[in-house]
Amino acid sequence: MGYEDTTADGGAPVPGIDVTRPSVARVYDAVLGGKDNYAVDRELADAIVTQLPGAQVIAFDNRRVLARAIAAMSAAGIRQFIDIGSGLPTADNVHQVAQRHAPESRVVYVDNDPVVLAHGRALLAENERTVVITGDLRDPAGIRDHEDTRRLIDFEQPVAVVLSAILHHVNDDEGPLDLARFWREAVPSGSYVYISHFRSENDPGSARLEEILQGSLGRGRWRSDEEVAELFEGLTLLEPGIVPCALWRPEGEGVPELTEWQRLIVAGLAVKP
């Protein structure tokens, strides 16, 4: 099956992709200025940027804080990472940050978008300690029990579970708390869980963004501080707690003054007692 649309860099579409429907990973790539997306993805990204000027900073802040969180976990001695809903490769991917700190670090990337899988596997073809697997966040047992996960990850040793900007794409009826609980129970004491998530302050901006994403993707849920905190139940939150991504251990001196959009995505890092 083929499609006439092409990626922004002029390449042919990955076989089997319905380019009439936007993808979370590819829309995110488009917002970040990437080229691994289709017209339908760029249309949604443009709608967000045009209708809500400045909102794209949410994606950039989320990407930057991920690198800081991986560095923090690496410094704490973590050498195994599972990045669920990893999205398309960009600068400072999890394996690059982790292996920069400790070359022996092992990383499993998980996504269900064929474009992510194709690009990721090409990028990691010669990296024996990193793999990209097909998996769905809503089937955590399938991810844990995948042969490549089992090959790289020792669940008897501490593991970092990375849920970067993905649980907010799980609707309430799909059990986001159950998914977070699964991973908390699947890893041993001393493991880390990193979560970033859309945050609602009952404000017009988050309501409008939720309306746009639900209308186009059928998912995208801005949750309250209390709802995000519930995702860390049973874990010990580390400083500075659950805060806007830009305020989570920022590099350099001083605390940045946040825009209204920067307040709408938060991050937290926790350890399993």
119 vs 200, more confident: 200
Q: Are 225 and 198 in contact (CB under 8 A)?
A: no
Q: How much is the pLDDT for 208?
A: 87
- The structure tokens listed for 225 are 């501080």
Lowest mean pLDDT among 100-104, 143-147, 220-224: 220-224
Q: How much is the pLDDT for 16?
A: 61
Lowest mean pLDDT among 13-27, 118-132, 175-189: 13-27
Radius of gyration of the chain (CA): 18
DSSP-assigned beta bridge partners for residue 81: 107, 160
192 vs 207, more confident: 192
CA distance 178 to 231: 9
Find the mean pLDDT for residues 134-144: 96
Q: How much is the pLDDT for 186?
A: 98
pLDDT at 9 over 50: no
| φ/ψ of residue 199, rounded to 5 | -125, 130
pLDDT at 210 over 60: yes
CA distance 269 to 190: 12
Q: How much is the pLDDT for 118?
A: 81
* Angle in degrees, 0-180, between the axes of helices 94-101 and 57-75, rounded to the nearest 10: 30
Maximum separation of any 2 CA atoms in the chain, in Å: 53
Give me the percent of the chain exceeding a pLDDT of 90. 60
pLDDT at 217 over 60: yes
> 34 Cβ partners below 8 Å, 6+ apart?
8, 88, 90
DSSP-assigned beta bridge partners for residue 131: 108
- pLDDT tens digits, residue range 42-83? 988 888 888 888 888 999 999 999 999 999 999 999 999 999
Find the mean pLDDT for residues 230-244: 98
CA distance 111 to 165: 13
Topology at the third CATH level for domain 57-200+226-271:
Rossmann fold (3.40.50)
- pLDDT tens digits, residue range 76-132? 999 999 999 998 777 789 999 999 999 999 999 999 888 888 877 777 878 899 999
Per-domain residue ranges for the chain?
A: 57-200+226-271
CA distance 228 to 197: 7
